[in-house]
Amino acid sequence: MLSLDAPAYLVLPEPISTNGLFNNLPGRGRVMTKDYKAWKVTAAKILMLQRPLPRFALPVEVTFYVGQQGTGIRDADNVVKPYLDALVENGVLHDDSRKFVRRISAVWVPLMTGCVVKMKNAGMDIEADDVRASVHANLRGLLI
């Protein structure tokens, strides 16, 4: 797979709530909702309009610039999952596990619908000692 040094930008449709992704059905477990299936088809079509798609094999950091127009009250963490899944299913990302996606952020953008995804190579991981050093000395023991 190709990896890019410069950031790549893609457009995706307006978000679907994580609460609307799956239903729990007795005897069947978690089943994808019709709304989520339809959203995934729309996302795939929009991605195909942007071919050739970038392909990332190295760890990446991803920023989702999500239009807040018409989204109601959504949690930033809930909006990320379907977007990551669409990027994986359409071959942009190899996987959305922590091995490949090292940093994620969601930024709400007023007066916009849809989503602009910015992806770039993650670079160096932060050192645990640097993180611990930023915390008050009395709390560092909690971080082992």
Contact present, 99 and 39 (Cβ < 8 Å): no
List beta partners, residue 29. 25
Residue 1, domain member (yes or no) = no
> pTM of the prediction?
0.86
Question: What total of structural domains would you count in the chain?
Answer: 1
Determine the Cα–Cα distance for residues 11 and 23; give it in Å rounded to an integer: 27
Range of the domain at 49: 8-143
pLDDT, averaged per 10 consecutive residues of the chain (144 residues), comes to 74 88 91 95 98 92 92 80 96 94 95 96 84 81 78
List beta partners, residue 119. 8, 62
Residue 28, domain member (yes or no) = yes
- H or E segment at 128? helix 128-133
Residue 80, domain member (yes or no) = yes
The per-residue pLDDT for 1 is 43
Report the CATH number at residue 128: 3.30.1330.70
Residue 139, domain member (yes or no) = yes
Residue 55, domain member (yes or no) = yes
The per-residue pLDDT for 4 is 52
